[in-house]
């Protein structure tokens, strides 16, 4: 309970109200900010003493100075986050110059590339943990609004989820992409190392030769160079209207990034004073726009996990059928690593996300942004500076967008990045090879037990089964690196944004929850037809059901967090809904 002064109590000096009654009052009464309760009431005298012990001055408690949270996900483990302290310093300077008072705290971040293959099960749970972290810090300290400083895979969607959940003034600064290391005219970067593992396992390269490539793959600060998950979610953030224009593509090492940080710091103070809240920005139109731009650019399949989760926190339902519908309608205009040769720096040079929006301007729906203008205004002003990097609608790289949703007797739904699949593998049938761990699959590749035409199946990798739904980049790139051209992979886990080829993930329902993928055995014939959106195994329903009675779950060591996550998704799909609600 929080005791308030006479403006809240009326004639009853002993009356108390709940925290959420206070929040409602603050929303209805424009003359007060949430932080005002800390600034003047006698009951919060010790609160002010504590804040002044951190360095605040008496003038920081002026009624017109909003308290602004800065959720800084800096660490020196993730390349995309090593420079975020510098950007956070500029944000705080901007907040101060605009008349606000900044309060910074640390937000955790997992480097998916480093966690990959070793312990990848905690990455997706960290997204929800980040949203909880921000809820705890913002509400516990009566902050008037906040800004998230982020770059990589699960941190950005976690922050956007918090924005929708709290619906207090908020915006995001993404740290910017990494620049590829160019050696002899060829682009090199850390993620290519996963393919080298495959070449070693496939006997096409020695371990010593692979190690000798290490210096050329070392780049520096920024989220990995291609349209992997980190940069996909930066693009989504900008199109949703939650970051300043050009933020998604401005390189981490570009001096402009610090200017964006400073301007974002100033802008969050304006948003607080204007009472502009995330749910007024992240509208249904905004989510549809974000999906459309993602389809046009060919972003990571992880966007299909994150966008519905963010929308749900904002009170909006996004179904998988919306992704497939928009993908059918939207040509693929960009060919970005890993599906193509261009890097994010090239997209920036060609005009950035506003240029992509300009290509799609007749399909973009009106929605506000943190900039003050609308997304359609930004699209109208966009200027494409290179017609091959961002192609016109009449000359796309592919007729349809990046992602397809497949259905059949294996899956109520499954996801594939169709623009990263060769023409010869758009329709394929092959014998199943079932593995329960990535290590077993890598051993089979090394022993040359996989044959061209096979369909590798990795069940029990979902949010409940693994648990935590780890990414499968190591096996997918190992298959590619080993030289296989006609091997598909199916899993109820997920894939990195770096994955290419006929790799089908997010199979629902997952094996742990009784899904048919758990019934597949070695030698079964799997049929994949991407244009027809179908995924089937040549088994009758009766055969599948009989086999499911005999399925034994693999035993796995679980931490308390993973045990919690398994229970959270027991009987639910990977999007957090019932199996009847996977699609619209």
The residue among 290, 249, 238 whose CA lies nearest residue 386 is 249
| 496 catalytically annotated | yes
Place of tokens 């002026």: 62
Read off the DSSP letter of residue 365.
P
What does the DSSP 8-state code read for residue 181? E
Burial group, residue 215, by CB count within 10 angstroms (0-12, 13-18, 19+): exposed
Q: Helix, strand, or coil here: 170?
A: strand
Cα–Cα dist 301/420, whole Å? 11
Task: Tell me if 217 sits within 8 A of 192, measured CB to CB.
Answer: yes
The two three-digit tokens of residue 288, written as one number: 């549809």
Give kind and range of the element (H or E) at residue 171: strand 170-174
The answer to whether 405 and 533 are in contact (CB under 8 A) is yes
> Angle 410-413-418 (CA atoms, 0-180°, nearest 5)?
100
Residue found under tokens 């290509």: 359
Residues 466, 460 contacting (CB under 8 angstroms):
yes
Got the DSSP string for 413-478? EEEEEGGGS-GGGSEEEEEEEE-SSHHHHHHHHHTT---TT-EEEE-S-STTTTTS--B-HHHHHH
| CB 166 within 8 Å of CB 137 | no
Distance CA 299, CA 162 (A): 23
Which residue out of 496, 534, 540, 583 is catalytically annotated?
496
Q: What is the DSSP letter of 2?
A: B
Q: Which residue has the tokens 């990494």?
A: 178
Peptide bond into 467 cis (omega under 30): yes
Contacts of 532 (CB under 8 A, 6+ apart): none
Under a CB-based contact definition with an 8 Å cutoff, are residues 573 and 579 in contact?
yes
Closest CA to 438 of 462, 474, 467: 474
Task: List, by residue number, the catalytic residues.
Answer: 496
């Amino acid at each position: 309970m929080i005791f308030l002064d006479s403006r809240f109590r009326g004639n009853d000096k002993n009356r108390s109200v709940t925290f959420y009654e206070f929040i409602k009052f603050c929303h209805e009464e424009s003359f007060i900010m949430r932080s005002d309760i800390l600034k003047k009431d006698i009951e919060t005298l010790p609160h002010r003493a504590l804040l002044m012990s951190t360095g605040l001055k008496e003038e920081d408690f002026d009624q017109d100075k909003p308290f602004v949270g800065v959720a800084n996900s800096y660490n020196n483990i993730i390349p995309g986050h090593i420079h975020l302290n510098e950007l956070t310093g500029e944000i705080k300077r901007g907040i101060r110059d605009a008349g606000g008072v900044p309060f910074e705290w640390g937000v955790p971040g997992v480097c998916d590339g480093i966690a990959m293959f070793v312990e990848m099960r905690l990455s997706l749970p960290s997204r929800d943990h980040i949203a909880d972290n921000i809820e705890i810090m913002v509400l516990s300290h009566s902050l008037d609004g906040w800004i998230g400083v982020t770059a990589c895979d699960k941190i950005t969607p976690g922050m956007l989820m918090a924005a929708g959940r709290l619906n207090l003034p908020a915006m995001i600064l993404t740290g910017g992409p990494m620049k590829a290391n160019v050696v002899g005219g060829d682009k090199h970067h850390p993620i290519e190392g996963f393919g080298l593992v495959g070449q070693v396992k496939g006997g096409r390269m020695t371990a010593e030769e692979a190690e000798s490539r290490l210096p050329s793959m070392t780049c520096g600060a920024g989220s990995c160079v291609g349209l992997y998950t980190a940069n996909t979610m930066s693009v989504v953030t900008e199109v949703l209207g939650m970051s300043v224009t050009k933020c998604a593509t401005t390189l981490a090492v570009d001096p402009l990034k610090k200017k964006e940080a400073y301007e974002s710091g100033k802008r969050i103070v304006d948003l607080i004073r204007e009472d502009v809240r995330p749910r007024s920005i992240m509208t249904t139109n905004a989510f549809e726009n974000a999906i459309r731009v993602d389809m046009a650019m060919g972003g990571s399949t992880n966007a299909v996990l994150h966008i519905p989760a963010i929308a749900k926190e904002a009170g909006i339902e996004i179904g998988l059928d919306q992704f497939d519908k928009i993908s059918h309608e939207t040509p693929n205009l960009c060919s970005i690593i890993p599906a193509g040769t261009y890097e994010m720096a090239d997209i920036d040079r060609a005009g950035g996300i506003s240029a992509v929006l300009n290509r799609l301007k007749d399909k973009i729906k009106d929605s506000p942004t943190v900039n003050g203008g609308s997304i359609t205004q930004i699209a109208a002003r966009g200027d494409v500076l290179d017609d091959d990097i961002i192609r016109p609608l009449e000359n796309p790289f592919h007729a349809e967008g990046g992602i397809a949703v497949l259905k059949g007797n294996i899956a109520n739904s499954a996801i594939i990045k169709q623009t990263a699949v060769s023409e010869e593998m758009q329709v394929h049938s092959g014998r199943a090879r079932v593995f329960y761990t990535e290590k077993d699959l890598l051993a089979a590749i090394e022993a040359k037990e996989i044959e061209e035409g096979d369909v590798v199946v990795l069940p029990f990798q979902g949010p409940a089964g693994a648990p935590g739904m780890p990414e499968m980049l190591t096996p997918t790139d190992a298959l590619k690196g080993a030289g296989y051209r006609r091997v598909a992979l199916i899993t109820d886990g997920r894939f990195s944004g770096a994955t290419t080829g006929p790799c089908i993930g997010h199979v629902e329902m997952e094996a742990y929850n009784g899904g048919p993928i758990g019934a597949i055995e070695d030698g079964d014939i799997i049929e994949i037809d991407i244009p027809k959106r179908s995924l089937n195994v040549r088994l009758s329903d009766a055969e599948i059901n009989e086999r499911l009675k005999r399925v034994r779950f693999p035993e796995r060591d679980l931490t308390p967090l993973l045990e919690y996550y398994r229970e959270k998704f027991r009987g639910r799909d990977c999007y957090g809904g019932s199996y009847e609600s996977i699609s619209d």
